Amino acid sequence: MSFLEMLDIVNEEQMKQGKEGFAFDHDCREGICGMCSLVINGMPHGPDHATTTCQLHMRKFKDGDTIVIEPWRAAAFPVIRDCAVDRTAFDRIIQAGGFVSVNTGAAPEASTIPVPKADADRAFDAAACIGCGACVAACKNASAMLFVSAKVSHLSFLPQGKVEAKKRVLAMVAQMDKEGFGNCTNLYECQAACPKGITVDYIAKMNREYLGATVTYAEKVYGKD
């Protein structure tokens, strides 16, 4: 039985007794949509390494264990009810620049630009992010650096995304700050909590890109001050 199936049973029992159920987010239940979001025994997505809550199974616990369940806690993720939180801040960060500006129909033939396999693979490792927000929940600063750096790196590793890379990193980081996410202090908790194995290497890459962009691009866009 999976962890969420256990919660289903708890809720069914509650309902049968005429009590309110317990609100939590979930959807695909196969570890890819990023909707499930529980801090279980102090760990986002629970004790299993690189596993979302929906793929956590009760066999990881012992009979008689007390399990503590909490919501993602971050100022930028206001709690809606019980363990359901509002993560639209992530959508707004993507809106700030987490895309390639290409209109439908305007694309060149797919094989026109070869991409070295190593670059494609590293872009993919970053693109594997499911946007669940466990990195934020794990960080004592509630920093979204792992999430933002994954998108920044995914696109800047690829030639298609390089064109807008400088503008993108500046805009996304600015939006991240605006949403109230904290800064990175290199504790690596995000990497440990990430269900998709995104590493802090991408944060280093983003910092490098950001620094470069502030020197060579920000002035052009935002003026000297």
What residues numbered 104-163 form the site for other proteins, per CB under 8 A?
Answer: 104-111, 113-117, 120, 123-124, 127-128, 130-131, 154-155, 158, 160-161
List 38, 96, 193, 194, residue binding other proteins (CB under 8 A): 96
**Helix-helix angle 165-179:145-156, to 10 degrees:** 170
CB within 8 A of 170, min separation 6: which ones? 97, 210, 213, 214, 217, 218, 221
List 46, 71, 98, 182, residue binding other proteins (CB under 8 A): 98
List 47, 75, 101, 215, residue binding other proteins (CB under 8 A): 101
8 binds other proteins (CB under 8 A): yes
Q: Residue written as tokens 């609100």?
A: 23
CB of 28 to other proteins, least distance (A): 4
Burial class (CB within 10 angstroms; exposed 0-12, middle 13-18, buried 19+) of 8: middle
47 binds other proteins (CB under 8 A): no
167 binds other proteins (CB under 8 A): no
Coil vs helix vs strand at 91: helix
205 binds other proteins (CB under 8 A): no
